[in-house]
Amino acid sequence: MAGGEWRGQKDGDRETGDQQVAGTQLQQMDMNLFLVMDAIYRQGNLTRAAEQLHITQPAVSNALARLRRSLADPLFIRTPSGMSPTPLTESIIPQVQQALALLDGSLSAQSSFDPATARKTLRLSMNDMAETLLLPPLLEELERRAPGISVESFYVPRDQLARELATNTLDFGLDIPLATATQLHQQRLLNDRYLCMLRQDHPLATEERLSLDQYLALGHVHVSSRRTGPGVADIALNKLGRRRAIKLRVQHYRVAPLVVMRTDLALTVPASLAGQYPVRLFELPFQIPQMDWHLLWHRNQHKDPANQWVRRLLLELFSR
């Protein structure tokens, strides 16, 4: 279909047509074209897509032309910021990526996995606290058991975790349980309680325990990746009709103990992280829910030998 016909369609007709195309044409397309569509979508650039696929840019351009003819849509529009996907592309790319992920998972499941000779990049989503706990022992074990495996760690927002795992751009997530993500497998790694951290020579350091009034009289460091909003301690205190004074809000747990060690501020911190610092620790003088850490992976990777081996290793490390 010519470019003028694309522009001449009404929005409602276009949407209906898009859905019909997605339902009838995708099943008939060459899987290699799916790879090209996915690469252009991820990279936003034909040259980088070609590099990702290890083919020439003219080959990518030719494949894109075939895609456009097959789906009767431009699919990507050239803009100053790169190749921007059209509404049709946005509507069908989840199906394309899932099909590629399922194929990759099926092929992987049929192959054996030897960690000693494997060459793989392991991609993990976790926050800075999980990195602190997991990465040192994980890299130590990988050097010994699987020296060809490298690791990339970054944080994927919870509402994007299922999609990233489904498309194999992510191998595992370490996060709280995701009750609505039915396509994911989840296994508990750690059940963590919270403690109150003060510097060793803090005026209250010699106390056997903290009272609620003493806790509330302190200035507090609050750790959150969000700009606003309460933490679990604040929610628990609100139920008691009490409120703590937050003097510092930071993004990461790595910096918070360093601040506590040089000030009179207090930090409510998971016990698994608290023991790494020369500080005074107290049980909290009020009830607060413990934090469950779960390992999450997609069902299309459940039987993959490499995924199974890494899962066992991660569970082993946390069981220690």
Examine the domain organization and report whether 285 and 308 are in the same domain: no
CATH number at residue 264: 3.40.190.10
CATH number at residue 65: 1.10.10.10
C-alpha closest to that of 199 among 273, 281, 276: 281
Answer with the one of 64, 81, 107 that is the final residue of a domain. 107
Answer with the one of 107, 128, 143 that is the final residue of a domain. 107
C-alpha closest to that of 173 among 312, 317, 318, 311: 311
Examine the domain organization and report whether 163 and 306 are in the same domain: yes
Res 153: pLDDT: 95
Examine the domain organization and report whether 230 and 165 are in the same domain: no
Examine the domain organization and report whether 64 and 198 are in the same domain: no
**Dihedral angle sign, alpha carbons of residues 80, 154, 87, 65:** positive
Res 206: pLDDT: 95
Examine the domain organization and report whether 94 and 34 are in the same domain: yes
Res 294: pLDDT: 93
In a domain, 25, yes or no: yes
* Residue carrying the six token digits 């990195």: 131
In a domain, 129, yes or no: yes
As for how many domains the chain has, the answer is 3
Examine the domain organization and report whether 67 and 41 are in the same domain: yes
Examine the domain organization and report whether 101 and 10 are in the same domain: yes
Q: Give, for all 320 residues of the chain, the pLDDT tens digit.
A: 333 333 333 444 444 444 444 444 545 566 778 889 988 998 899 998 988 888 889 989 998 999 999 889 999 999 988 999 999 999 888 888 877 777 666 555 556 789 999 999 999 999 888 898 899 999 999 999 999 999 999 999 888 888 888 878 899 999 988 877 778 899 998 888 999 999 999 999 999 999 999 999 999 999 987 888 899 999 999 999 999 999 999 998 889 999 999 999 999 999 988 888 999 999 999 999 888 889 999 888 888 899 999 999 999 998 87
What's the burial of 182, exposed, middle or buried (CB within 10 Å: 0-12/13-18/19+)? exposed
* Owning domain of residue 77: 3-107
In a domain, 112, yes or no: no
Res 34: pLDDT: 85
Res 227: pLDDT: 87
Examine the domain organization and report whether 200 and 278 are in the same domain: yes
Examine the domain organization and report whether 150 and 14 are in the same domain: no
Answer with the one of 77, 107, 137 that is the final residue of a domain. 107
Q: How far apart are CA 173 and CA 96, in angstroms?
A: 22
In a domain, 12, yes or no: yes
In a domain, 93, yes or no: yes
Do you know the residue count of the chain?
320
In a domain, 113, yes or no: no
Q: How far apart are CA 50 and CA 57, in angstroms?
A: 5
Examine the domain organization and report whether 99 and 12 are in the same domain: yes
Res 150: pLDDT: 96
Res 18: pLDDT: 47
Give the SS3 label for residue 135: helix
Q: State how far Cα 299 lies from the chain centre.
A: 16
Give the SS3 label for residue 161: helix
